[in-house]
Chain A
């Protein structure tokens, strides 16, 4: 892989790399990249934040158990004990004309730590469960996107000709398609029908729907650079040699092309995760993603929209979670890219 890029490296960079390799005999490119990543403090902090968020979300059932709350069930008549006093979760206004009922705000205790939403449910518990959903959807969509994008990009770039033309135009169409219109259309169509795609049955309340939508729409975003890279690799000496020796195309793709695009794919993982989290949140906010009573960060923001003036924490908390996660993923993504890029040292 280093061979591919060496032509474009300055002499100083090449010398740096050579020195690093000489000083660490037996260390392969992956180990070198990992070592570089570990040296990147920003990336390590981002990774720490991500791990914290993942662990917190994984512990959602424990929090719900300790807080004695069911985050998926309305609690409109309930009350909690706060500072020795019984307090209603939903509090009718007692001033002026007595208009409106406001959910309890953050208590900063185990019970209703971040307050309640308009159904009287514990926001903190929903935030953690919502994180599970958002991260699961984003993760699955990332896997789907990477697999399909790699397939399309590699095939289009390697075979070229009409195969490339057809696949590229399909990517153009996909890129131009308005995602939210697609999501709205699908959610309406699926209200009373089930969409069967092979063995997968999509219903309107299935998580498979937002996963499928989010997973498919970013395929062009990944497939295009992969295709470009494969176009270059296709004319590299080692591939031409393999072709000349009569090695079957599938084997060249598997043994020579795919390993050379792996680093690009790895760089895309955190970036796609971040994009997918935001997209899923937007879909769920518009009520076309995760369906109630399930929670995702997007649905909680949607719930909090109607409480912005009285209980901003309902929308703020998942908003902050999204910002933190996306920021951490982007910083980590930068770190991964730098670690895998041999030119990094000279920047």
Chain B
């Protein structure tokens, strides 16, 4: 109670000073005096595999890496869209591009130490980037393939050398990156956890459950995937940038695994846990939104749920059929299945609202314009009739989660209504995502979702729909629709090129590409979800960044 009073008082003081968002350095010191300490208890239904920051590619652990590892640059630890800003981290500043956008020279900060006591050097930076290739990081071929020498590293990871691509000068503490071509998203790619700087003597294999030293305010103490992950303070941490890597409030962060989502909600209600990773189950939403409203945070996500239609397989190899599906889907019904209007909004475009390149536009609705209003079943049926595909068998593949199963069943009914013989198959969430990517499985239509890796239009359009993202026969073919249009590819390349010099103009180009792709309709955007974070009564200073969502180390429990 006393802590709460003090917190409210401090909040009022902040508001009076007009210091909304991240507190100033002086304020942070004051808050530290008041709230530093305690153990933050987090829970999740399951762990997410390896703890290696250069291998793990899950939102659950990317959240934790924020407080453990640093890159040369990073996303600011800020509220909402502030979290999309890139700020210098281990580098003293974000350097200007040289050589027409193909060279960047970073200056390394001095005096920063890893949690094992070793000082961070430029050699660690070089070794970390080589390690991305040697551990066969999941984004090695997509994020870091533009570094000179990366092609050879991708071919032969074990003998990887980036001597020509990354030149270090220990005396000047500089790291120079040479790229094969200008990359407007280079800083975004350096800011994600896969580009974390690790000690040069780190194993060149996935470390699995053995944590690697980092430079952030916390370090991983132990990790048992079936039980818990414990983070304690890094004894060698000294804050160098509040925006990039502020000190954390809790002394310890314990992350427990294995509770069901229902049990997690109850644990948070009872104060046995401070935050749950999983979204609360839909039948508990009403309860927590009513009885525990002050402990609920609803935040928009830069993400979308969509139906991926295989453009190389009947009946979706026919553009009219894909358009028909887009016309027929009642987005409001799906919003209801997801939890209601507070938790989602109908989507018409691939880029989510508020995202770079987003422009409100909706073709596939009763009254085409800027927003979706109602399905147009008559138009859908007409298109199916014109396509001559009515009566064909169609199977919808979804994950076996309750919400996804419900969406799948609804989509099945819509497909039946417009003339197909549809069935729906729910398969384990562990395999569905890779299953629907592999063309050998002959998936016709599937439910999927996509969340931003970093705030750039290409992270949606180029990643999900470029020819380069389509790998027939592979489990790793994120272009699930198999859409490959040379003109769209060329337009996307042009937009990325424009972004180097004129991001605003590039965003306009991306908006056009978004609309252009939607005419071909390789997918049916369904809705943009929102995130529900349910926290304990004692948890204060909940900060939600658009990039990494909840920032655990900025929350206090004391």
Q: Point out residues on A near B: beta carbons under 8 Å.
A: 72-74, 76-77, 90, 92-93, 95-102, 118-119, 184, 187-188, 191-192, 204-205, 287, 291-293, 305-311
- Say whether B409 contacts A119, CB under 8 Å: yes
- Say whether B296 contacts A99, CB under 8 Å: yes
- Say whether A92 contacts B336, CB under 8 Å: yes
- Say whether A309 contacts B262, CB under 8 Å: yes
Confirm or deny: B7 has a beta carbon within 8 angstroms of a beta carbon on chain A: no
- Say whether B409 contacts A97, CB under 8 Å: no
Interface size on B, residues (CB 8 A): 49
CB < 8 Å: which of B342, B403, B425 contacts A205? B425
Confirm or deny: B290 has a beta carbon within 8 angstroms of a beta carbon on chain A: yes
Confirm or deny: B423 has a beta carbon within 8 angstroms of a beta carbon on chain A: yes
- The complex places the Cα of A187 from the Cα of B409 at a distance, in Å, of 17
- Say whether A287 contacts B400, CB under 8 Å: yes
- Say whether A97 contacts B342, CB under 8 Å: yes
- Say whether A292 contacts B408, CB under 8 Å: yes
Report B287-301 residues with CB < 8 Å from chain A CB: 287-291, 293, 296, 298
**A302's closest neighbor in chain B, by CB?**
B405
Q: Name which of B161-169, B212-220, B278-286, B484-492 contacts chain A.
A: B278-286
- The complex places the Cα of A287 from the Cα of B397 at a distance, in Å, of 12
- Say whether B289 contacts A77, CB under 8 Å: no
- The complex places the Cα of A98 from the Cα of B344 at a distance, in Å, of 12
| In the complex, per-residue mask of B409-439: 1 if CB is within 8 Å of any chain A CB, else 0 | 1101100000000011111100100010000
- Say whether A192 contacts B423, CB under 8 Å: no
CB distance from B297 to the nearest CB of A (A): 10
Q: Point out residues on B near A: beta carbons under 8 Å.
A: 262, 281-291, 293, 296, 298, 330, 332-333, 336-337, 339-343, 395, 397, 400, 402-403, 405-406, 408-410, 412-413, 423-428, 431, 435, 441-443, 532
CB distance from A209 to the nearest CB of B (A): 12
- The complex places the Cα of A187 from the Cα of B403 at a distance, in Å, of 21
- The complex places the Cα of A16 from the Cα of B288 at a distance, in Å, of 68
- The complex places the Cα of A47 from the Cα of B341 at a distance, in Å, of 50
- Say whether B262 contacts A98, CB under 8 Å: no
- Say whether A77 contacts B332, CB under 8 Å: yes
- The complex places the Cα of A229 from the Cα of B409 at a distance, in Å, of 49
**B431's closest neighbor in chain A, by CB?**
A188
CB < 8 Å: which of B290, B405, B413 contacts A95? B290
Most chain B CB neighbours (cut-off 10 Å) among A77, A192, A307, A311: A192
- Say whether A101 contacts B340, CB under 8 Å: yes
- The complex places the Cα of A230 from the Cα of B183 at a distance, in Å, of 80
**B424's closest neighbor in chain A, by CB?**
A292
The 8 closest A-B pairs by CB, nearest first: A100-B285, A99-B289, A96-B290, A306-B402, A97-B289, A99-B285, A100-B286, A76-B333
CB distance from B168 to the nearest CB of A (A): 49
Q: A76-B337, A96-B293, A100-B283 known; 19 other A-B pairs, CB under 8 Å?
A: A72-B413, A73-B413, A74-B413, A76-B410, A96-B289, A98-B340, A99-B285, A99-B286, A99-B289, A99-B342, A100-B343, A118-B337, A119-B409, A188-B431, A205-B423, A205-B425, A291-B424, A292-B405, A308-B262
CB < 8 Å: which of B288, B405, B423 contacts A287? B405
Q: What chain B residues lie within 8 Å of A74 (beta carbons)?
A: 333, 409-410, 413
- The complex places the Cα of A311 from the Cα of B425 at a distance, in Å, of 25
Given A90-B336, A305-B402, A306-B282, A100 and B289 contact (CB-CB distance below 8 Å): yes
Most chain A CB neighbours (cut-off 10 Å) among B281, B296, B409: B409
Most chain B CB neighbours (cut-off 10 Å) among A72, A97, A309, A310: A97
- Say whether B284 contacts A98, CB under 8 Å: no
- Say whether B289 contacts A93, CB under 8 Å: yes
Q: List 21 A-B contacts (CB under 8 A).
A: A72-B413, A74-B409, A77-B332, A92-B341, A98-B340, A98-B341, A99-B339, A99-B343, A100-B284, A100-B289, A100-B343, A101-B337, A102-B283, A118-B282, A192-B395, A204-B425, A205-B423, A291-B424, A306-B281, A306-B406, A309-B281
Q: What chain B residues lie within 8 Å of A307 (beta carbons)?
A: 283
- Say whether A191 contacts B286, CB under 8 Å: no
- Say whether A191 contacts B427, CB under 8 Å: yes
- Say whether A76 contacts B330, CB under 8 Å: yes
Q: What chain A residues lie within 8 Å of B296 (beta carbons)?
A: 97, 99
- The complex places the Cα of A309 from the Cα of B341 at a distance, in Å, of 21
- The complex places the Cα of A97 from the Cα of B341 at a distance, in Å, of 11
Q: What chain A residues lie within 8 Å of B289 (beta carbons)?
A: 93, 95-100
Q: What chain B residues lie within 8 Å of A119 (beta carbons)?
A: 337, 406, 409-410
- Say whether A76 contacts B336, CB under 8 Å: yes
- Say whether B409 contacts A293, CB under 8 Å: yes
- The complex places the Cα of A73 from the Cα of B417 at a distance, in Å, of 10
- Say whether B283 contacts A97, CB under 8 Å: no
Main secondary structure of the interface of B (DSSP, over half): helix
- The complex places the Cα of A310 from the Cα of B339 at a distance, in Å, of 13
- Say whether A101 contacts B336, CB under 8 Å: yes
Q: What chain A residues lie within 8 Å of B342 (beta carbons)?
A: 97-99
- The complex places the Cα of A56 from the Cα of B290 at a distance, in Å, of 40
**B441's closest neighbor in chain A, by CB?**
A192
- The complex places the Cα of A90 from the Cα of B173 at a distance, in Å, of 63
Q: What chain B residues lie within 8 Å of A309 (beta carbons)?
A: 262, 281, 283-284, 287
CB distance from A124 to the nearest CB of B (A): 19
CB < 8 Å: which of B287, B341, B406, B413 contacts A118? B406
Q: What chain B residues lie within 8 Å of A204 (beta carbons)?
A: 395, 423, 425
Most chain A CB neighbours (cut-off 10 Å) among B286, B289, B330, B406: B286
CB < 8 Å: which of B283, B288, B343, B532 contacts A311? B283
Q: What chain B residues lie within 8 Å of A306 (beta carbons)?
A: 281-283, 402-403, 406
**A304's closest neighbor in chain B, by CB?**
B283
Q: What chain A residues lie within 8 Å of B262 (beta carbons)?
A: 308-309
CB < 8 Å: which of B286, B424, B427 contacts A93? B286
CB distance from A78 to the nearest CB of B (A): 10
Given A98-B342, A205-B423, A287-B405, A293 and B285 contact (CB-CB distance below 8 Å): no
- Say whether A292 contacts B343, CB under 8 Å: no
Q: What chain A residues lie within 8 Å of B298 (beta carbons)?
A: 97, 99
CB distance from B184 to the nearest CB of A (A): 38
**A190's closest neighbor in chain B, by CB?**
B425
Q: What chain B residues lie within 8 Å of A188 (beta carbons)?
A: 427, 431
Q: What chain B residues lie within 8 Å of A77 (beta carbons)?
A: 330, 332-333
CB distance from A74 to the nearest CB of B (A): 5
- Say whether B425 contacts A100, CB under 8 Å: no
Q: What chain A residues lie within 8 Å of B340 (beta carbons)?
A: 92-93, 98-101
CB distance from B377 to the nearest CB of A (A): 13
CB distance from B278 to the nearest CB of A (A): 13
CB distance from B383 to the nearest CB of A (A): 22
Given A95-B290, A97-B342, A191 and B397 contact (CB-CB distance below 8 Å): yes
- Say whether B337 contacts A93, CB under 8 Å: no
CB < 8 Å: which of B293, B330, B425, B443 contacts A291? B425
Q: What chain A residues lie within 8 Å of B423 (beta carbons)?
A: 204-205, 291
- Say whether B408 contacts A118, CB under 8 Å: no
CB distance from B481 to the nearest CB of A (A): 17
Most chain B CB neighbours (cut-off 10 Å) among A72, A118, A184, A307: A118
- The complex places the Cα of A119 from the Cα of B296 at a distance, in Å, of 26
- The complex places the Cα of A293 from the Cα of B397 at a distance, in Å, of 14
Q: What chain B residues lie within 8 Å of A305 (beta carbons)?
A: 402
